[in-house]
A and B are shown apart, each in its own frame.
Chain A
Amino acid sequence: NSVGEACTELKREYDQCFNRWFAEKFLKGESAGDPCGQLFKRYQLCVQKAIKEKDIPIEGLEFMGPSKGKTENSS
């Protein structure tokens, strides 16, 4: 389950994608090309909102997008 109840479905979709990629590609040495980028972004937006709303004290963590390249976050 997700810390934000509304995010649980998005989290499940992302988790499924990630777990498959992790076991079938990453562990076998093919880390290039993460197919879960879009799912992750959507899930992240939801989680960030929930964390702010619940006032969870997370410090110094940048909410970056997955794998290569930092994407600027407007929050």
Chain B
Amino acid sequence: HPWETVTTAAMQKYPNPMNPSVVGVDVLDRHVDPSGKLHSHRLLSTEWGIPSIVKSLIGACRTKTYVQEHSVVDPVKKTMELKSSNISFTNLVSVDERLVYKPHPREPDKTILTQEAIISVKGVSLSSYLEGLMANTISSNANKGREALEWVINRLNAEIEEFTASARGTVRNSMAAAAFVEK
């Protein structure tokens, strides 16, 4: 898909069925900087499907984990960069992710995504096991991320089609009504 489509979809990525654990997205700040780039700071809330008995023990508010995301969109250079890091459990683990969307250099109807994640685990003896586990999850999530954007793009296209069809239907109906009245 072209870069503009992917970027628009990425801004509306959540909610989507591939990332059911993301339950909340809020924009904390958004501004266009002097060079024309759009900066957005967002807060993502995730809910991990903890059994309800555990929830009732520790309190529902504490089952949400939070991630903060900073994105920069440069409409001239056509790049979108997202950096996110967890703000919950930072005393245990840090997951920093960086994603960059750019138009494909040779195929203008396609977009290239590069994604990297840095995981640091603090003070846990099973650190290499956990890091391996998280690396697997993050790479399978990368695929999910692509599927999620496909889903959003399809949904946006369907909305446009639906809107066009209903607009056409409205015009036809009002023309039919006008014809009826004329008779």
Contacts and interface: CB of A to CB of B under 8 A. Distances in A.
Interface of A: 1-4, 7, 11, 14-15, 18-19, 22-23, 26-29, 31, 34, 40, 43-44, 47, 51, 54, 56-58, 61-68
B8 A47 contact: no
B21 to A, nearest CB: 13
A61 B26 contact: no
Contacts of A51: 43
Contacts of B20: none
Considering residues A3, A14, A61, A65, which has the most beta carbons from chain B within 10 angstroms of its beta carbon?
A3
B43 A27 contact: no
B87 A57 contact: yes
A11 to B, nearest CB: 7
Interface of B is mostly: strand
B7 interface: yes
A58 B45 CA distance: 12
Interface string B12-31: 10010000000111111111
Interface residues of B, number: 30
A4 B27 CA distance: 12
B84 interface: no
Given A19-B8, A40-B30, 16 more contacts: A2-B24, A2-B25, A7-B26, A14-B27, A19-B11, A26-B38, A26-B73, A26-B75, A27-B7, A29-B76, A47-B43, A57-B87, A57-B90, A58-B28, A61-B29, A67-B32
B32 A34 contact: yes
A64 B41 CA distance: 11
B151 interface: no
A32 B53 CA distance: 51
